[in-house]
Structure 1
Amino acid sequence: MSVYTKRGDKGITDMARTKNVSKSDDRIQLVGAIDELNSHIGLVKCMLKWEETVKMLSSIQDNLDLIAAGVEDPYSRDFKVNEEIVDNLEKETDRLEELCGQQAGKKVSGQNRTAAEINVTRAVARRTERCLAQVAVKFGADTESKKYLNRLSDYLSLLAKYVELSDALGLTEDQNVEKQNIKKQDVEKQKVKTQNTISEISNGIDEKVVREVLAQMGIQSRITLKKAKALIEKIEEESIRRGMNSVIAICGPEGNPIAVHVMDGAYLVSYDVAVKKAYTSVAVKMSTRELGELAGPGGTFYGVDTLESGKIAIFGGGVPLKCGNTIIGGLGISGGTSEEDHSLAEYGLTVLGDIM
């Protein structure tokens, strides 16, 4: 059977219950607009790596197919958009609006290609909504379908802004850049640029945006117990190789302990010291060795070890665990000299990427 029938050569086509409909008919124009919108959404899906967002866009495509089928066969109950479908889209729109904060009402700048493509998709969604309104005047239309298309453009507008903000935070990849060709100095320049951008827009973004973007990308915003145990296992192996009997403590970004491992032969006092080192590293956002250098007489943090009921440690062995620029936890090592503990903690940082 040939892919072409030649019936459309005269500018006519068929609908589910109506034959010989002109291709200039408003209903055919609407179905075509929905098809175009669906194609743009498909392109956006290819450009995004966020699994949950891609799933949401796939469900939107299914709902658009449902609306198109309802236009062609308005008498079938199988092709009706229900309130639940509209509610789900509204909830996701509300979530994005909250994450975007004060930036939600601003226009997309066009500096991010994916965001720009989503913005084009939004414009096509608006045109599709106008086509549906025109069909409704002449032939009637499903009320929930009209609501859905109206909400869809709002959702796409916020999604574009959300993607742009995420890129400004340096948390998305530019697929047009070949990373292997970027020189080291260019990387450092980009880091500075990213930090400046964050400062410029920080009034409109809070920590929830950062954590949400990390989650969308499949990156942990805090170290989990499973990851902590895996990191401890690697550090213990290295500690044994070095002939050290250590206590290894890992806390969350808020300072609460997640896991503490005591090796055979470790000093009793090392337990409390390791926990303090882990806590200190996230409390001051630097290694405890760095803090120790600043805590001497005349130093910026002189006397800090007397604060917080003795919870602060100012000798080597504590380091913050980071994913990008976000602190996801703290690591504390105790069992050897200050330098030995710090060296083992630094080793922990080198293997962190292997378990994340």
Structure 2
Amino acid sequence: MPRSSTTLSLSDAKRMLEAGEAKASSIGIAYNIAVVDASGALVAFTRQDGALIGSIDLAIGKAITARLFDKRTSDLAKMAQPGAPLFGIEQSNGGKVVIFGGGLPVKVDNQIIGAVGTSAGSVEQDIAVAEAAAAAINQGVDS
């Protein structure tokens, strides 16, 4: 069925959370996973039993950051190092920008329709869980 919306729906977000939870379970770490729509507003969030409390805001912040800047948070982290072009970006938007890996925009037909953010493991694990969640949307994710 052709997609008629240019933003993630609740149904999309639920599929993404389920896929992210499955990946987190395969890693063996309880995760916090957040999905935002095209406007950057939270659509859905899950905190698996035992997931780190301190990672709740990080997961949500990564999703919002990925949508605010339409970039993977891991890419922003590289560009925000001292001497790099976006040094200090984490201080923007009221200091709520999160530049650890694990946030990424979600695209359909090359249009960003939302973003996902994950937090609880290493940066590499966070990225893997976010990618699994985003892959639940048929046309994939920003690379």
Instruction: Confirm or deny a common fold (TM above 0.5).
Output: yes
Instruction: State whether structure 2 residue 27 is matched by structure 1 residue 242.
Output: yes
- For 1:280, the equivalent position in structure 2 comes to 65
- For 1:230, the equivalent position in structure 2 comes to 15
Distance 1:264 1:331 in 2: 19
CA RMSD in angstroms, aligned pairs only: 1.5
Structure 1, residues 185-220: CA drift from partner, whole Å, max 9, x if none?
Answer: xxxxxxxxxxxxxxxxxxxxxxxxxxxxxxxx5343
2:112 to 327, 344, 348: 327
Structure 1, residues 297-348: CA drift from partner, whole Å, max 9, x if none?
Answer: 1111100001111210111000001112211101000010111101221222
Cα gap change, 1:354 to 1:287, in 2 (>3 Å): closer
Q: Secondary structure at the match of 1:353?
A: coil
1:108-257 pair list within 5 angstroms:
217-257=2-42
Q: Secondary structure at the match of 2:137?
A: helix
- For the 8 Å contact 2:63–2:103, the answer to whether it is kept is yes
Paired letter, 1:239:
A
1:351 is displaced (CA, Å) by 2.8
Instruction: State whether structure 2 residue 108 is matched by structure 1 residue 317.
Output: no
- For the 8 Å contact 2:24–2:129, the answer to whether it is kept is yes
- For the 8 Å contact 2:15–2:136, the answer to whether it is kept is no
Structure 1, residues 9-36: CA drift from partner, whole Å, max 9, x if none?
Answer: xxxxxxxxxxxxxxxxxxxxxxxxxxxx
Cα gap change, 1:354 to 1:237, in 2 (>3 Å): farther
Q: Work out which of the two has the higher radius of gyration on C-alpha atoms and give 1 or 2.
A: 1
- For 2:56, the equivalent position in structure 1 comes to 271
1:222 is displaced (CA, Å) by 0.3
- For the 8 Å contact 2:90–2:98, the answer to whether it is kept is yes
Structure 1, residues 130-151: CA drift from partner, whole Å, max 9, x if none?
Answer: xxxxxxxxxxxxxxxxxxxxxx
Distance 1:231 1:343 in 2: 13
Distance 1:253 1:330 in 2: 7
- For 1:347, the equivalent position in structure 2 comes to 132
Q: Size of the alignment, in residue pairs?
A: 139
Distance 1:292 1:316 in 2: 7
Structure 1, residues 60-81: CA drift from partner, whole Å, max 9, x if none?
Answer: xxxxxxxxxxxxxxxxxxxxxx
Distance 1:218 1:269 in 2: 36
- For 1:300, the equivalent position in structure 2 comes to 85
1:354 is displaced (CA, Å) by 7.7
1:83-94 pair list within 5 angstroms:
none
Structure 1, residues 221-251: CA drift from partner, whole Å, max 9, x if none?
Answer: 1000111011101110121111011000001
Q: Secondary structure at the match of 2:3?
A: coil
Structure 1, residues 266-319: CA drift from partner, whole Å, max 9, x if none?
Answer: 011111000000000011111000000000011111000011112101110000
Runs of 4+ in 1 over 6 A off after TM superposition: none
Greater relative contact order (CA < 8 Å, ≥ 6 in sequence) = 2
Q: Which has the higher strand share?
A: 2
Distance 1:230 1:305 in 2: 30
Q: Which has the higher helix share?
A: 1
Listed as ranges, the gaps of 5+ residues in structure 1 are 1-216
Structure 1, residues 77-124: CA drift from partner, whole Å, max 9, x if none?
Answer: xxxxxxxxxxxxxxxxxxxxxxxxxxxxxxxxxxxxxxxxxxxxxxxx
Distance 2:30 2:139 in 1: 24
Cα gap change, 1:218 to 1:347, in 2 (>3 Å): closer
